[in-house]
Amino acid sequence: MQDFRKLKVWQRAHQLTLSVYRLTADFPRDELCGLRNSLRKTCIDIPAYIAEGSGKANDGEFLKSLGGALALANRLEYYVLLALDLKLFSTDEHNAVNLDIIDLKKMLNGFNRTLR
């Protein structure tokens, strides 16, 4: 068992979550229960999966949690693209958060390889 707060991949996922919360703060009222909630919930679940996995009994179980976090990062990447297409994110906002998502996915894949 390890302290998830010390994992760089968790720190990156947590920072991404904070960024998405800031970016979605001004979403239109009619999106409060739509895409805004989906973006936020997906973001929250990524570092939560990493934290949960860090407390698992073995690396195999941790790998499953990392796989779940990676799947959520892919979903988030789509939601961010949708927000751009719906003009809820500017091109600059989309590009910045999308780069963060891609970096996180690379970190998750790298951590996954390390545990194997």
User: Which residue segments constitute the domains of the chain, with CATH numbers given?
Assistant: 4-115 (1.20.1440.60)
Q: What is the mean pLDDT of residues 89-114?
A: 96
Structure-derived torsion over alpha carbons of residues 93, 98, 101, 102, reported in degrees to the nearest 10: -150
Structure tokens at 62: 């941790």
Tens of pLDDT, residue by residue over 31-87, are 767 999 999 999 999 999 999 998 887 888 889 999 999 999 999 999 999 999 999
pTM, 2 dp: 0.93
Torsion-angle region of 82 (φ positive above 0: left; ψ -120 to 50: alpha; else: beta): alpha
Tens of pLDDT, residue by residue over 7-16, are 999 999 999 9
